[in-house]
Chain A
Amino acid sequence: MRRDPARLLARYLLLAAAVVLLNFLIPRLLPGDPLDPGGAEGMTAATPLPAEARARIADYYGLNEPLGRQLTDYLGDLARGDLGWSIAQPAPVARLILERLPWTLALMLTALALSTLLGTALGLLAGWRAGRPLDRALVSLSGALSAIPEFLIGIGLLAVFSVGLGWFPLMGGRTVFAAYGDGPGATVHRLSDAAWHLALPATALALAGIAGFLLLARDTTAGLRGESWLTVARAKGLPVRQVVLRHALPNLALPLLTFFSLRLGAVLGGALVVERVFGIPGLGLLAFQAVRARDYPVLQAEFLLASLGVLLANLLAELAYLRLDPRRGAGHG
């Protein structure tokens, strides 16, 4: 597992290149034609493009060129940050994505932070009481929550807290027709409004992802209970709270880091789906609209961005692991 940073970097560069190549090849090699909406099996037949329009679009995208030439063009565009032009909306894909990205990122990061904090706290609690009813209840509850699709948890929260209790908005990312005013107060208003709208979807995502963090913290803590240094710490008379926070918690840092980066792809997928439940105007809603309009460039760009983002996060996590792992350099490598 342990690698030196250079090899790690090379491996991830290779993976990134594979992702870019995959993104280039998928629409060109798979059956199905982005220019022929009627040709997709299982969709309600759409009006096919007239042959002349089709030829012009194919020409515009350079689809008649040899594959190698297309690839170099594609890489050139990519290097300039040009992700193409959306089919359904009159805007370049890059701009559409950049507009929506903050919502999805805010949703994901809030959810990840929430599930890390909650999961670790509850996991410490459960691990310290491993085998007792509280431990079993927490483990099975979080297991059930992680099994159910995120959007169902979202629907449940929406039904209870928005529809039933009316505490949170029904849908959207901001209050419709909201006048935030000017000045420094406006930004605060705007942000708090967004936070109010993001609270439920983030909670849904966090609940869906809590199980892994909880089990990680629980197992580590439960395993630590037998360690002799912990017995010593307690024999010295340290209060339990301090033993947990000062001695047990640091042991969690490395596995948590690994797990954090592993979860990222799943959280991203969950965010995309949950956005549709709550009408959050992020990448998920964009993808949903793109699916309906068969807006292929948008989906392609989202896949590219998502995979590269996940790869980058994994790389950073592994590099951080190399730096943080106290066993490195001690000859255990």
Chain B
Amino acid sequence: MAERTGRRQWASSLHADPAPRDWSHPAQHTAVGRRLGTRPRLFWLGGGLLAVACVMALFGPWLAPYDPALSVGPPLQPPGSGHPLGTNDIGQDVLSQLIAGARTSLIVALGVAAISAALSWLVGLAAGLSRRLEAPLIGLADLLLALPSIPLYLLIVTLIGPSQTNLILTLGLLSWPAFARVVRSVVIRVRAEPYVEAARALGGSNLHLARLHLLPATLDILPTKVILTVRFAIFAEATLAFLGLAQSGTVSWGSMLSWAFSDPLLFARPVWPWLVLPPALAIAVVILATTWVTTGLQHAPATHPPSTHAETADRPLARAAPLPAEGNPPGEPAAERSRERRPTA
């Protein structure tokens, strides 16, 4: 199983392991093989697709043939020369809109991921460290997890207005609970480690412990959290825009679809393929790409609390500490399970 060794490789890049282990897997004879061979091919495909989307988002204004907001041609032109993906019903160039939509998705995704990850870690560390804060914080997380999300977003975003800032704030402030629980569970496990106890005995405050000892131990689930939240944000942004909650004047893939579907005769005319398919495929491809990247990441670090002691023994988290490697017998790294149990952002 290539994934098993890949996990070690992953962990060592984040934490300086004082006792480097021998790389015994035959797939890792060369340095290149070590880097590339351990992740599934779809991981790289997904990463490549995301890179393309990022390029579109960053250099959109220079790549797009027209201004996405203006009518630049006759309405409902089929794809052809001049307009590679045709024009919509008010003569806007579909390709230019598609490129502009990438930027909207990226901004929302990064904003939401930053807020959500920061909150997840803040709440997770606080709840794991402070007995007084634990019950209210976890109660709040449970409440938020229990609420059906789409009706809640509709309610809030309609009230405060669907500007991009509001959207990012709403999605970011409401999507932290799942990973706050994961972070807390890691903290609870790590705080029982002897090195944390030792640091506490030396007079380390909670803040000191959190910053120096617990935070580093939780960091290897950060990439998973970020990419899952990116996927969630793109998904939610598209969904809300499709339901009519998008900043007016800003092009997004979801609002392109929403616009197309506001025509009751959309499918009665042969225009739908270039009005519906480009944004729909763009959303689908980007979301699938993030999914593949997530799966690839989860082959590496285990992001779930292990259930048995044997599993705990080999966890990279536990080895983040400057403890001498005691030669723990390698536990069974539930590589199978880490793929299925995907915490949603």
Contacts and interface: CB of A to CB of B under 8 A. Distances in A.
A112 interface: no
Contact of A268 (B150, B165, B277, B337): B150
A269 B267 contact: no
Given A40-B161, A41-B165, A170-B267, A292 B146 contact: no
A1 interface: no
A255 interface: no
A163 B268 CA distance: 8
Given A147-B287, A294-B158, A42 B272 contact: no
Interface centre among A155, A219, A287 (most CB of B within 10 A): A155
B238 interface: yes
A126 to B, nearest CB: 12
Contacts, number: 157
A49 interface: no
Contact of A42 (B164, B268, B295): B164
A158 B261 contact: no
Interface stretch (A232-240, A304-312, A319-327): A304-312
A144 interface: yes
- Please classify the interface of chain B as helix (H, G, I), strand (E, B), loop, or mixed, using the class held by over half of its residues: helix
Interface in A151-197: 151-152, 155-156, 158-159, 162-163, 170-171
Contacts of B287: 147-149
- Please classify the interface of chain A as helix (H, G, I), strand (E, B), loop, or mixed, using the class held by over half of its residues: helix
Contacts of A310: 146-148
A296 interface: yes
B312 interface: no
B156 interface: yes
B272 A299 contact: no
A292 B262 CA distance: 12
Contact of A288 (B162, B244, B248, B284): B244
Interface residues of B, number: 51
Contact of B159 (A34, A42, A44, A151): A34
A296 B243 contact: no
B243 A288 contact: yes
Contacts of A32: 159-161
A165 to B, nearest CB: 13
A242 B151 CA distance: 44
Leading 10 A-B pairs by shortest Cβ distance = A42-B163, A40-B161, A269-B150, A41-B163, A41-B161, A32-B160, A42-B247, A265-B148, A147-B291, A303-B151
28 contacts: A19-B143, A30-B159, A32-B159, A34-B159, A40-B158, A40-B159, A42-B162, A147-B231, A147-B290, A149-B235, A149-B283, A152-B280, A155-B276, A159-B272, A163-B267, A219-B340, A265-B147, A266-B148, A269-B148, A272-B150, A272-B151, A288-B244, A296-B158, A302-B154, A306-B151, A307-B152, A310-B146, A314-B146
